[in-house]
Chains A and B, each alone.
Chain A
Amino acid sequence: MGYQFDWSLVLTGEYRDWLLDGFYLTLKISAVAGGCAMALGTLVAVLRLSRVKPLMWLSLAFTEFFRNTPLLVQIFFWYFGSEVLLPKSVNEWLYSMDFEFAAGTLALTVYSSAFIAEELRSGVFSIPKNQLEASRATGLSFLQAYRFVILPQAFRIVIPPLISQLLNLLKNSSLVMTIGVMELTYQARQVESFTFHGFESFTVATLMYLAVSLLVSFAITMYNKHFLHHLRY
Protein backbone atom coordinates (compact mmCIF):
# COMPACT_ATOMS: atom_id res chain seq x y z
CA MET A 1 0.00 0.00 0.00
CA GLY A 2 1.83 3.06 -1.24
CA TYR A 3 -0.83 5.63 -0.44
CA GLN A 4 0.05 8.65 1.69
CA PHE A 5 -2.87 10.02 3.65
CA ASP A 6 -3.14 13.79 3.89
CA TRP A 7 -6.27 14.75 5.74
CA SER A 8 -5.32 18.40 6.13
CA LEU A 9 -5.74 18.71 2.38
CA VAL A 10 -9.51 18.27 2.49
CA LEU A 11 -10.12 19.65 5.96
CA THR A 12 -8.56 23.07 5.37
CA GLY A 13 -8.26 25.64 2.62
CA GLU A 14 -9.65 25.68 -0.87
CA TYR A 15 -10.58 22.02 -1.22
CA ARG A 16 -12.61 22.06 1.99
CA ASP A 17 -14.52 25.00 0.58
CA TRP A 18 -15.21 23.06 -2.62
CA LEU A 19 -16.67 20.19 -0.63
CA LEU A 20 -18.73 22.53 1.53
CA ASP A 21 -20.04 24.31 -1.58
CA GLY A 22 -20.97 20.92 -2.97
CA PHE A 23 -22.74 19.93 0.22
CA TYR A 24 -24.65 23.20 0.18
CA LEU A 25 -25.71 22.67 -3.44
CA THR A 26 -26.76 19.08 -2.66
CA LEU A 27 -28.98 20.35 0.15
CA LYS A 28 -30.31 23.14 -2.05
CA ILE A 29 -31.24 20.99 -5.05
CA SER A 30 -32.77 18.40 -2.69
CA ALA A 31 -34.83 21.05 -0.93
CA VAL A 32 -36.07 22.68 -4.13
CA ALA A 33 -36.82 19.36 -5.84
CA GLY A 34 -38.30 17.97 -2.62
CA GLY A 35 -40.73 20.87 -2.27
CA CYS A 36 -41.80 20.68 -5.91
CA ALA A 37 -42.07 16.87 -5.75
CA MET A 38 -44.36 17.11 -2.73
CA ALA A 39 -46.68 19.46 -4.60
CA LEU A 40 -46.66 17.45 -7.83
CA GLY A 41 -46.92 14.15 -5.94
CA THR A 42 -49.96 15.38 -4.01
CA LEU A 43 -51.62 16.48 -7.23
CA VAL A 44 -50.96 13.09 -8.86
CA ALA A 45 -52.27 11.25 -5.79
CA VAL A 46 -55.43 13.37 -5.74
CA LEU A 47 -56.05 12.62 -9.42
CA ARG A 48 -55.63 8.93 -8.62
CA LEU A 49 -58.16 9.12 -5.78
CA SER A 50 -60.63 11.17 -7.79
CA ARG A 51 -63.38 9.12 -9.31
CA VAL A 52 -62.93 10.45 -12.82
CA LYS A 53 -61.68 7.59 -15.00
CA PRO A 54 -59.45 9.52 -17.46
CA LEU A 55 -57.76 11.39 -14.61
CA MET A 56 -57.14 8.12 -12.77
CA TRP A 57 -55.56 6.59 -15.86
CA LEU A 58 -53.42 9.66 -16.42
CA SER A 59 -52.14 9.51 -12.86
CA LEU A 60 -51.57 5.75 -13.08
CA ALA A 61 -49.60 6.10 -16.30
CA PHE A 62 -47.51 8.88 -14.75
CA THR A 63 -46.54 6.95 -11.63
CA GLU A 64 -45.93 3.66 -13.44
CA PHE A 65 -43.79 5.20 -16.15
CA PHE A 66 -41.59 7.38 -13.97
CA ARG A 67 -41.15 4.78 -11.25
CA ASN A 68 -40.07 2.10 -13.69
CA THR A 69 -37.44 3.98 -15.65
CA PRO A 70 -33.97 4.84 -14.35
CA LEU A 71 -33.45 8.32 -12.96
CA LEU A 72 -30.24 8.71 -14.93
CA VAL A 73 -32.08 8.19 -18.21
CA GLN A 74 -34.70 10.73 -17.15
CA ILE A 75 -31.98 13.24 -16.32
CA PHE A 76 -30.45 12.77 -19.76
CA PHE A 77 -33.85 13.01 -21.38
CA TRP A 78 -34.66 16.38 -19.82
CA TYR A 79 -31.13 17.70 -20.23
CA PHE A 80 -30.42 16.71 -23.84
CA GLY A 81 -34.01 16.44 -25.00
CA SER A 82 -35.16 19.92 -24.03
CA GLU A 83 -32.85 21.37 -26.66
CA VAL A 84 -34.88 19.67 -29.37
CA LEU A 85 -38.32 19.71 -27.79
CA LEU A 86 -38.53 23.30 -26.61
CA PRO A 87 -38.69 26.34 -28.91
CA LYS A 88 -35.45 28.19 -29.47
CA SER A 89 -36.36 31.32 -27.48
CA VAL A 90 -37.19 29.27 -24.38
CA ASN A 91 -33.89 27.43 -24.70
CA GLU A 92 -31.91 30.66 -24.93
CA TRP A 93 -33.64 31.93 -21.84
CA LEU A 94 -32.84 28.66 -20.04
CA TYR A 95 -29.17 28.72 -21.09
CA SER A 96 -28.82 32.24 -19.76
CA MET A 97 -29.79 30.88 -16.36
CA ASP A 98 -28.39 27.85 -14.59
CA PHE A 99 -29.63 25.31 -17.11
CA GLU A 100 -27.95 22.24 -15.54
CA PHE A 101 -29.52 23.03 -12.19
CA ALA A 102 -32.95 23.49 -13.75
CA ALA A 103 -32.80 20.23 -15.74
CA GLY A 104 -31.50 18.33 -12.74
CA THR A 105 -34.21 19.74 -10.49
CA LEU A 106 -36.91 18.93 -13.03
CA ALA A 107 -35.71 15.32 -13.36
CA LEU A 108 -35.47 14.81 -9.60
CA THR A 109 -38.87 16.41 -9.08
CA VAL A 110 -40.71 14.27 -11.59
CA TYR A 111 -38.99 11.05 -10.51
CA SER A 112 -39.59 11.59 -6.79
CA SER A 113 -43.13 12.85 -7.21
CA ALA A 114 -44.13 9.48 -8.69
CA PHE A 115 -42.89 7.73 -5.55
CA ILE A 116 -44.44 10.31 -3.25
CA ALA A 117 -47.80 9.95 -5.01
CA GLU A 118 -47.70 6.20 -4.38
CA GLU A 119 -46.92 6.70 -0.69
CA LEU A 120 -49.78 9.18 -0.32
CA ARG A 121 -52.19 6.92 -2.12
CA SER A 122 -51.32 3.86 -0.08
CA GLY A 123 -51.52 5.96 3.09
CA VAL A 124 -55.07 6.99 2.30
CA PHE A 125 -55.95 3.43 1.28
CA SER A 126 -54.62 2.08 4.57
CA ILE A 127 -57.42 3.87 6.44
CA PRO A 128 -60.22 1.31 6.73
CA LYS A 129 -63.21 1.94 4.53
CA ASN A 130 -65.66 2.00 7.40
CA GLN A 131 -64.08 5.23 8.62
CA LEU A 132 -65.35 6.90 5.48
CA GLU A 133 -68.71 5.18 5.72
CA ALA A 134 -69.12 6.13 9.37
CA SER A 135 -68.31 9.76 8.74
CA ARG A 136 -70.65 9.88 5.77
CA ALA A 137 -73.37 8.36 7.95
CA THR A 138 -72.91 11.07 10.57
CA GLY A 139 -73.80 13.58 7.88
CA LEU A 140 -70.44 14.81 6.62
CA SER A 141 -70.12 15.41 2.91
CA PHE A 142 -67.55 13.48 0.90
CA LEU A 143 -65.05 16.33 1.04
CA GLN A 144 -65.67 16.96 4.72
CA ALA A 145 -65.15 13.29 5.50
CA TYR A 146 -61.76 13.41 3.77
CA ARG A 147 -60.84 16.74 5.30
CA PHE A 148 -61.75 15.97 8.92
CA VAL A 149 -61.58 12.19 9.26
CA ILE A 150 -59.51 10.41 6.63
CA LEU A 151 -56.67 12.82 5.86
CA PRO A 152 -55.69 13.65 9.45
CA GLN A 153 -55.25 9.93 10.13
CA ALA A 154 -53.54 9.18 6.81
CA PHE A 155 -51.18 12.09 7.33
CA ARG A 156 -49.71 10.60 10.49
CA ILE A 157 -49.17 7.22 8.87
CA VAL A 158 -47.66 8.70 5.76
CA ILE A 159 -45.05 10.98 7.35
CA PRO A 160 -42.27 8.39 7.93
CA PRO A 161 -42.36 6.89 4.40
CA LEU A 162 -42.57 10.39 2.94
CA ILE A 163 -39.48 11.45 4.81
CA SER A 164 -37.58 8.40 3.67
CA GLN A 165 -38.58 9.30 0.11
CA LEU A 166 -37.05 12.72 0.65
CA LEU A 167 -33.95 11.00 1.95
CA ASN A 168 -33.85 8.92 -1.22
CA LEU A 169 -34.12 12.15 -3.14
CA LEU A 170 -31.07 13.49 -1.33
CA LYS A 171 -29.08 10.40 -2.22
CA ASN A 172 -30.41 10.39 -5.79
CA SER A 173 -29.32 13.99 -6.21
CA SER A 174 -25.77 12.66 -6.58
CA LEU A 175 -26.73 11.62 -10.11
CA VAL A 176 -27.05 15.18 -11.38
CA MET A 177 -23.25 15.37 -11.37
CA THR A 178 -23.45 13.61 -14.75
CA ILE A 179 -24.88 16.76 -16.35
CA GLY A 180 -22.43 19.02 -14.53
CA VAL A 181 -24.30 20.28 -11.50
CA MET A 182 -21.52 20.93 -9.01
CA GLU A 183 -22.99 19.12 -6.02
CA LEU A 184 -21.20 17.08 -3.39
CA THR A 185 -20.29 14.01 -5.48
CA TYR A 186 -19.13 16.23 -8.32
CA GLN A 187 -16.90 18.23 -6.00
CA ALA A 188 -15.47 15.08 -4.42
CA ARG A 189 -14.51 13.86 -7.91
CA GLN A 190 -13.11 17.30 -8.66
CA VAL A 191 -10.92 17.29 -5.56
CA GLU A 192 -9.77 13.78 -6.45
CA SER A 193 -8.69 14.74 -9.93
CA PHE A 194 -6.89 17.86 -8.71
CA THR A 195 -5.02 16.29 -5.82
CA PHE A 196 -5.04 12.50 -6.40
CA HIS A 197 -6.23 12.26 -2.82
CA GLY A 198 -9.53 10.62 -3.64
CA PHE A 199 -9.68 8.60 -0.45
CA GLU A 200 -9.87 11.67 1.77
CA SER A 201 -12.30 13.63 -0.38
CA PHE A 202 -14.64 10.65 -0.86
CA THR A 203 -14.53 9.86 2.84
CA VAL A 204 -15.57 13.40 3.71
CA ALA A 205 -18.33 13.39 1.10
CA THR A 206 -19.60 9.97 2.21
CA LEU A 207 -19.65 11.11 5.83
CA MET A 208 -21.66 14.18 4.87
CA TYR A 209 -24.31 12.05 3.17
CA LEU A 210 -24.25 9.59 6.06
CA ALA A 211 -24.66 12.30 8.68
CA VAL A 212 -27.86 13.59 7.08
CA SER A 213 -29.23 10.10 6.43
CA LEU A 214 -28.55 8.75 9.91
CA LEU A 215 -29.91 11.85 11.59
CA VAL A 216 -33.13 11.67 9.62
CA SER A 217 -33.62 7.93 10.03
CA PHE A 218 -33.03 8.30 13.76
CA ALA A 219 -35.76 10.95 13.81
CA ILE A 220 -38.11 8.64 11.92
CA THR A 221 -37.50 5.84 14.41
CA MET A 222 -38.28 8.19 17.28
CA TYR A 223 -41.41 9.40 15.52
CA ASN A 224 -42.59 5.83 14.96
CA LYS A 225 -41.98 4.98 18.60
CA HIS A 226 -43.91 7.95 19.91
CA PHE A 227 -46.77 8.40 17.51
CA LEU A 228 -47.46 5.21 15.64
CA HIS A 229 -47.27 2.43 18.22
CA HIS A 230 -50.90 2.75 19.21
CA LEU A 231 -52.25 2.67 15.66
CA ARG A 232 -53.61 -0.79 15.01
CA TYR A 233 -55.98 -1.75 12.28
Chain B
Amino acid sequence: MRWDIVYNNLDYLLWGSYPNGPLGGICASIMLAVLGIFGAFWLGLVFGLMRLSKSRILRGLAMVYVEVIRGTPLLMLIFWFYFLGPVIFDYNLPEFQSALLAFVVFTGAYVAEIVRAGVNALPGGQMEAARGAGLTRFQAMRYVILPQALRNMIPSFVNQFVSLTKDTSLAYIIGVNELTKAATQINNREVVAPAEIFMAIAVLYFIICWALTAFSRRMERHVARYQARGR
Protein backbone atom coordinates (compact mmCIF):
# COMPACT_ATOMS: atom_id res chain seq x y z
CA MET B 1 0.00 0.00 0.00
CA ARG B 2 1.31 3.45 -0.94
CA TRP B 3 -0.29 5.68 1.66
CA ASP B 4 2.59 8.14 1.30
CA ILE B 5 1.03 9.28 -1.99
CA VAL B 6 -2.14 10.23 -0.15
CA TYR B 7 -0.11 11.90 2.57
CA ASN B 8 1.96 13.94 0.12
CA ASN B 9 -1.15 15.18 -1.66
CA LEU B 10 -3.24 15.74 1.41
CA ASP B 11 -3.18 19.55 1.12
CA TYR B 12 -4.42 19.28 -2.45
CA LEU B 13 -7.29 17.04 -1.30
CA LEU B 14 -8.20 19.41 1.51
CA TRP B 15 -8.09 22.87 -0.09
CA GLY B 16 -6.69 22.46 -3.60
CA SER B 17 -3.93 24.87 -4.59
CA TYR B 18 -5.60 27.57 -2.53
CA PRO B 19 -3.20 30.38 -1.59
CA ASN B 20 -1.63 30.27 -5.07
CA GLY B 21 -4.68 29.20 -7.04
CA PRO B 22 -8.39 28.52 -6.88
CA LEU B 23 -9.93 26.89 -3.82
CA GLY B 24 -10.50 23.19 -4.40
CA GLY B 25 -10.62 19.85 -2.64
CA ILE B 26 -13.01 19.22 0.17
CA CYS B 27 -13.32 22.95 0.93
CA ALA B 28 -14.88 23.49 -2.49
CA SER B 29 -17.18 20.50 -1.92
CA ILE B 30 -18.36 21.96 1.37
CA MET B 31 -18.82 25.37 -0.22
CA LEU B 32 -20.96 23.85 -2.99
CA ALA B 33 -23.05 21.98 -0.43
CA VAL B 34 -23.54 24.99 1.87
CA LEU B 35 -24.47 27.40 -0.92
CA GLY B 36 -26.63 24.68 -2.46
CA ILE B 37 -28.63 23.96 0.68
CA PHE B 38 -29.05 27.70 1.30
CA GLY B 39 -30.57 28.25 -2.14
CA ALA B 40 -32.57 25.02 -1.95
CA PHE B 41 -34.05 26.07 1.38
CA TRP B 42 -35.67 29.20 -0.07
CA LEU B 43 -36.72 27.50 -3.28
CA GLY B 44 -38.12 24.54 -1.35
CA LEU B 45 -39.93 26.80 1.12
CA VAL B 46 -41.68 28.62 -1.72
CA PHE B 47 -42.68 25.44 -3.53
CA GLY B 48 -43.60 23.63 -0.32
CA LEU B 49 -46.00 26.44 0.63
CA MET B 50 -47.35 26.55 -2.92
CA ARG B 51 -48.09 22.84 -2.55
CA LEU B 52 -50.18 23.70 0.53
CA SER B 53 -51.94 26.70 -0.98
CA LYS B 54 -55.63 26.81 -1.76
CA SER B 55 -55.09 27.78 -5.38
CA ARG B 56 -55.27 24.77 -7.65
CA ILE B 57 -52.86 26.33 -10.16
CA LEU B 58 -50.13 26.95 -7.59
CA ARG B 59 -50.62 23.46 -6.17
CA GLY B 60 -50.40 21.94 -9.63
CA LEU B 61 -47.26 23.90 -10.51
CA ALA B 62 -45.53 22.85 -7.32
CA MET B 63 -46.54 19.25 -7.84
CA VAL B 64 -45.17 19.15 -11.37
CA TYR B 65 -41.89 20.67 -10.20
CA VAL B 66 -41.48 18.22 -7.33
CA GLU B 67 -42.47 15.11 -9.27
CA VAL B 68 -40.41 15.90 -12.36
CA ILE B 69 -37.26 16.72 -10.42
CA ARG B 70 -37.58 13.76 -8.09
CA GLY B 71 -38.10 11.44 -11.04
CA THR B 72 -34.96 12.57 -12.85
CA PRO B 73 -31.40 11.56 -12.01
CA LEU B 74 -29.29 14.43 -10.67
CA LEU B 75 -26.67 13.76 -13.31
CA MET B 76 -29.25 14.39 -16.01
CA LEU B 77 -30.15 17.71 -14.38
CA ILE B 78 -26.50 18.74 -14.20
CA PHE B 79 -26.18 18.06 -17.93
CA TRP B 80 -29.32 20.08 -18.63
CA PHE B 81 -27.96 23.12 -16.87
CA TYR B 82 -24.43 22.78 -18.18
CA PHE B 83 -24.82 21.70 -21.81
CA LEU B 84 -28.34 22.62 -22.81
CA GLY B 85 -29.22 25.76 -20.88
CA PRO B 86 -26.55 27.77 -22.73
CA VAL B 87 -27.66 26.42 -26.12
CA ILE B 88 -31.33 27.17 -25.62
CA PHE B 89 -31.28 30.35 -23.58
CA ASP B 90 -27.98 31.83 -24.66
CA TYR B 91 -26.40 32.32 -21.28
CA ASN B 92 -22.97 31.28 -20.24
CA LEU B 93 -22.22 29.98 -16.77
CA PRO B 94 -18.91 28.62 -15.50
CA GLU B 95 -18.91 25.00 -14.27
CA PHE B 96 -19.12 25.86 -10.58
CA GLN B 97 -22.18 28.10 -10.88
CA SER B 98 -23.84 25.76 -13.32
CA ALA B 99 -23.41 22.78 -10.97
CA LEU B 100 -24.59 24.91 -8.06
CA LEU B 101 -27.74 25.86 -9.95
CA ALA B 102 -28.46 22.19 -10.66
CA PHE B 103 -27.96 21.33 -6.97
CA VAL B 104 -30.30 24.12 -5.86
CA VAL B 105 -33.07 23.10 -8.25
CA PHE B 106 -32.61 19.40 -7.45
CA THR B 107 -32.48 19.71 -3.66
CA GLY B 108 -35.27 22.32 -3.70
CA ALA B 109 -37.74 19.64 -4.75
CA TYR B 110 -36.80 17.46 -1.79
CA VAL B 111 -36.91 20.42 0.60
CA ALA B 112 -40.38 21.29 -0.70
CA GLU B 113 -41.54 17.82 0.35
CA ILE B 114 -39.93 18.24 3.76
CA VAL B 115 -41.70 21.59 4.23
CA ARG B 116 -45.02 20.14 3.18
CA ALA B 117 -44.68 17.16 5.49
CA GLY B 118 -43.49 19.37 8.34
CA VAL B 119 -46.47 21.71 8.10
CA ASN B 120 -48.90 18.83 7.73
CA ALA B 121 -47.44 17.13 10.79
CA LEU B 122 -48.53 19.99 13.05
CA PRO B 123 -51.93 19.43 14.65
CA GLY B 124 -54.73 21.25 12.83
CA GLY B 125 -55.68 23.05 16.03
CA GLN B 126 -52.63 25.33 15.67
CA MET B 127 -53.91 26.87 12.47
CA GLU B 128 -57.49 27.05 13.75
CA ALA B 129 -56.43 28.73 17.00
CA ALA B 130 -54.24 31.25 15.15
CA ARG B 131 -57.06 32.06 12.74
CA GLY B 132 -59.46 32.25 15.66
CA ALA B 133 -57.18 34.76 17.37
CA GLY B 134 -57.71 37.04 14.37
CA LEU B 135 -54.56 36.40 12.32
CA THR B 136 -54.92 36.14 8.55
CA ARG B 137 -53.94 32.88 6.92
CA PHE B 138 -50.61 34.39 5.86
CA GLN B 139 -49.93 35.78 9.34
CA ALA B 140 -50.83 32.46 10.93
CA MET B 141 -48.38 30.70 8.61
CA ARG B 142 -45.66 33.28 9.22
CA TYR B 143 -45.91 33.64 12.99
CA VAL B 144 -47.45 30.42 14.29
CA ILE B 145 -47.10 27.49 11.92
CA LEU B 146 -43.71 27.99 10.24
CA PRO B 147 -41.70 28.80 13.39
CA GLN B 148 -42.84 25.51 14.89
CA ALA B 149 -42.74 23.49 11.69
CA LEU B 150 -39.30 24.70 10.61
CA ARG B 151 -37.80 23.81 13.97
CA ASN B 152 -39.21 20.31 13.70
CA MET B 153 -37.77 20.03 10.21
CA ILE B 154 -34.16 20.72 11.21
CA PRO B 155 -33.19 17.02 11.35
CA SER B 156 -34.61 16.45 7.87
CA PHE B 157 -32.73 19.47 6.58
CA VAL B 158 -29.52 18.11 8.01
CA ASN B 159 -30.15 14.77 6.32
CA GLN B 160 -30.78 16.57 3.06
CA PHE B 161 -27.53 18.45 3.55
CA VAL B 162 -25.74 15.15 4.00
CA SER B 163 -27.05 13.79 0.73
CA LEU B 164 -26.19 17.04 -1.00
CA THR B 165 -22.64 16.80 0.33
CA LYS B 166 -22.38 13.35 -1.22
CA ASP B 167 -24.01 14.58 -4.42
CA THR B 168 -21.47 17.38 -4.87
CA SER B 169 -19.13 14.65 -6.09
CA LEU B 170 -21.17 14.63 -9.33
CA ALA B 171 -19.90 18.13 -10.11
CA TYR B 172 -16.63 16.41 -11.02
CA ILE B 173 -18.28 15.10 -14.18
CA ILE B 174 -18.57 18.57 -15.70
CA GLY B 175 -15.13 19.51 -14.37
CA VAL B 176 -15.70 21.45 -11.17
CA ASN B 177 -12.60 21.54 -8.98
CA GLU B 178 -13.76 19.67 -5.90
CA LEU B 179 -12.71 16.67 -3.87
CA THR B 180 -13.54 13.92 -6.37
CA LYS B 181 -11.88 15.86 -9.20
CA ALA B 182 -8.80 16.38 -7.06
CA ALA B 183 -8.68 12.64 -6.37
CA THR B 184 -8.97 11.68 -10.04
CA GLN B 185 -6.26 14.20 -10.92
CA ILE B 186 -3.92 12.71 -8.35
CA ASN B 187 -4.87 9.23 -9.50
CA ASN B 188 -4.08 10.08 -13.12
CA ARG B 189 -0.71 11.51 -12.12
CA GLU B 190 0.39 8.77 -9.75
CA VAL B 191 -1.37 5.75 -11.30
CA VAL B 192 -0.11 3.19 -8.75
CA ALA B 193 -2.42 3.94 -5.79
CA PRO B 194 -6.06 4.23 -6.91
CA ALA B 195 -7.42 2.16 -4.02
CA GLU B 196 -5.61 4.25 -1.41
CA ILE B 197 -6.62 7.58 -2.97
CA PHE B 198 -10.31 6.77 -3.35
CA MET B 199 -10.39 5.15 0.08
CA ALA B 200 -8.90 8.34 1.53
CA ILE B 201 -11.48 10.65 -0.02
CA ALA B 202 -14.27 8.25 0.94
CA VAL B 203 -13.07 8.65 4.52
CA LEU B 204 -13.01 12.45 4.15
CA TYR B 205 -16.60 12.48 2.89
CA PHE B 206 -17.52 9.99 5.58
CA ILE B 207 -16.21 12.13 8.43
CA ILE B 208 -18.35 15.09 7.40
CA CYS B 209 -21.49 13.14 6.57
CA TRP B 210 -21.34 10.86 9.56
CA ALA B 211 -20.79 13.70 12.01
CA LEU B 212 -23.79 15.51 10.56
CA THR B 213 -25.93 12.37 10.63
CA ALA B 214 -25.08 11.80 14.27
CA PHE B 215 -25.95 15.44 14.97
CA SER B 216 -29.29 15.10 13.19
CA ARG B 217 -30.15 11.99 15.23
CA ARG B 218 -29.56 13.91 18.45
CA MET B 219 -31.62 16.82 17.13
CA GLU B 220 -34.43 14.44 16.27
CA ARG B 221 -34.69 13.25 19.85
CA HIS B 222 -34.45 16.80 21.13
CA VAL B 223 -37.09 18.14 18.75
CA ALA B 224 -39.50 15.29 19.49
CA ARG B 225 -39.58 16.35 23.12
CA TYR B 226 -40.93 19.84 22.44
CA GLN B 227 -43.45 19.14 19.72
CA ALA B 228 -47.02 20.40 19.76
CA ARG B 229 -49.24 17.33 19.66
CA GLY B 230 -52.83 16.76 18.73
CA ARG B 231 -55.23 16.08 21.63
Q: Which A positions have Cβ atoms within 8 angstroms of B?
A: 1, 3, 64-65, 68-74, 76-77, 80-81, 83-85, 171-172, 174-175, 177-178, 185, 188-189, 192, 198-199, 202, 205-206, 209-210, 213-214, 217
Pick from A76, A185, A198: contact of B183, CB below 8 A.
A76
Given contacts A72-B172, A77-B199, contact A210 B68 (CB under 8 A): yes
Chain A residues with CB below 8 A from B210, complex form: 64, 68
Q: Is the CB of B195 within 8 A of A68?
A: no
In the complex, the answer to whether B79 meets A68 with C-beta atoms within 8 Å is no
Among candidates A70, A81, A209, residue contacting B76 with C-beta atoms closer than 8 Å: A209
Interface size of B in residues (CB-CB distance below 8 Å): 43
Chain B residues proximal to chain A, CB less than 8 Å: 67-68, 70-76, 79-80, 83-84, 87-90, 162, 166-170, 172-173, 180, 183-184, 187, 192-195, 198-199, 201-203, 205-206, 209-210, 213
What 4 A-B pairs are tightest by C-beta distance, nearest first?
A: A213-B71, A80-B194, A81-B195, A68-B209
Q: Which of A73, A189, A198 contacts B198 (CB 8 A)?
A: A73
SS class, residues of chain A in contact with chain B: helix
Q: Please give me the residue from chain A that is nearest to B211 by CB atom.
A: A68
Give chain A residues whose Cβ lies under 8 Å from the Cβ of B73.
171-172, 174, 185, 209
Count contacts between A and B, CB distance < 8 Å: 119
| Partner among B67, B83, B198 whose Cβ is within 8 Å of the Cβ of A76 | B198
Q: Which secondary structure dominates chain B's binding surface?
A: helix
CB-contact partner of B184 in A65, A76, A205, under 8 A = A76
Determine whether the beta carbon of A217 is less than 8 Å from that of B71.
Answer: yes
Q: How far is the CA of A23 from the CA of B45 in the complex (A)?
A: 34
What chain B residues lie within 8 Å of A74 (beta carbons)?
202
CB-CB under 8 A from B89, the residues of chain A are 1
Task: Among B74, B162, B170, B187, point to the contact of A68 (Cβ < 8 A).
Answer: B162
Contacting pair B75 A214 (CB below 8 A) = no
> Contact: B75 with A198, CB < 8 Å?
no
Set of chain A residues within 8 Å of B198, measured between Cβ atoms: 73, 76-77, 80-81
20 extra interface residue pairs, beta carbon distance < 8 Å, beyond A80-B187, A188-B76:
A3-B88, A68-B166, A69-B205, A70-B180, A72-B172, A73-B198, A74-B202, A77-B198, A80-B198, A172-B73, A174-B75, A177-B75, A185-B79, A188-B79, A189-B79, A192-B83, A202-B79, A209-B73, A210-B68, A217-B67
Set of chain A residues within 8 Å of B72, measured between Cβ atoms: 171, 206, 209-210, 213
Q: Which residue of B lies closest to A196 (CB)?
A: B87
A209 CA / B210 CA spacing, docked (Å): 30
Query: Which chain B residues lie closer than 8 Å to A198 at the CB level?
Result: 79, 83-84, 87
Residue of A nearest to B198 (CB): A77
Knowing A69-B206, A70-B180, A77-B198, say if A214 contacts B71 (CB, 8 Å). yes
B213 touches A185 (CB 8 A): no
Q: Is the CB of A70 within 8 A of B205?
A: yes
A221 to B169, CA, bound (A): 32
User: Least Cβ distance of B81 to chain A in Å?
Assistant: 11
Q: Which of B89, B184, B195 is packed against the most chain A CB atoms within 10 Å?
A: B195
CA of A172 to CA of B74 in the docked complex: distance in angstroms?
Answer: 8
